[in-house]
Structure formats: C-alpha cells, structure tokens
Amino acid sequence: MEKLLRQTFELGAAYSGEILSLNKMLGSLQDAGNTVTLASYINLLNESGLLCGLQKHSIDIARRRASIPKLQVYNNALKMVYSPLAFEAALVDRKSWGRIVESCIGAYLVSQAFVHRFEVFYWRERDDEVDFILRKKGSVIAIEVKSNAEKKTAGLEKFKQLFQPKNAFIVGDGGISIKDFLSMDIRKLF
C-alpha cells in the first residue's frame, strides 16, 4: 500500500499539468491495484496538499466526476523533482517548458483555491481545450496558459461561446505576464 501511494505521487508529480487517465496510470505502476484504489490515493494526496486530480468543467455533476483527471501538484517544485530534464534543458525544449509553465500556474491556482474557496477545473471537448476554469458562486473564469507568442486559441473562443464566462484570458506570452498574474489578487477576478 505505501509503495503504491508513493508511486502514485511520483507519477502524478511528473505528469502535473497533464490529463492522464487512471487506467494509463495503472499501466505505469508496479503492483497497481485498481482505479478505485488509485482515485482514493489521489484524494488522500489532495487532502495532504501535495497533488490533486482536477475534474473536467461540466454543468452535469456526473460527467464531471467521471472525467479523466488533470493531475496538478500544489507546489511546482514537486514537478521539477520528477522531471527527466534539468531546468536548463527544459528551458530550451518548448514542449517541456510549456508543461512546466502550465503546472506552475496550476499550482498557484489550486493553492489559492484552497485559501480563497473557489473551484478549479479544466475543459476539453474534442480538440478544443482550456487549461484552467475557476468557479466561485456562479462566476466562471477561463484561463489559457501559453509559453509561446500565440495570442488566441480556438479552445478559449469555443469555451466563451458555450459558457459566457465572467472573464477569459491568456497567461504568459501573448497575454498577462506570468509575473503579473502570480502577483495579482486572484479574488479580484471574481
């Protein structure tokens, strides 16, 4: 049991900021058990403030609960510990850097959600995706994280059409700078 919990945490930290099904996780773990056990371990890690599995944003609660989790550490240093690349190598690998940046913003959001009592989700429909959806008392905020100069995303536009969020924006290149976002009072978004 202890070994599987540790392996679940290590794999979850390595894949922080990514959507990963419990079945795929089972295939990567030794002595894997079953998806119910894995889900309970992720819940335990969430209650410990280490790692959570974000649910997909949906109006339907059953669909939300049945969604594939997007793994997210509460402190991005935990992702870096299990990264196969050194920081300098990750900086020049745009795909790896993008995952690190997205996990960084996610870590900030889930930590702030705990303090300021709002929910954090992700949204995905076919090829359209929005990295983070925040919800508090009926207000919805959509956040797309970018580590390149792309200013608009089809997913963000599609989400805006479907759900009319109170606010929708890009964090990173082409939007609010990461530094400015991390220093703002997140409560003012709602």
Q: Considering the chain, what percentage of its residues have pLDDT values greater than 70? A: 93
Question: How confident is the model at residue 31, as a pLDDT?
Answer: 65
Question: How confident is the model at residue 75, as a pLDDT?
Answer: 96
State how far Cα 120 lies from the chain centre.
8
Structure tokens at 50: 């280490």
Q: pLDDT for 2-53, tens place per residue? A: 888 999 999 999 999 999 998 888 887 776 678 888 899 999 999 999 999 9
Q: pLDDT for 79-134, tens place per residue? A: 999 988 888 898 898 888 999 999 999 999 999 999 999 999 999 998 899 999 99
The DSSP output letter for 84 is: S
Q: pLDDT for 50-84, tens place per residue? A: 999 999 998 777 666 678 999 999 999 999 999 88
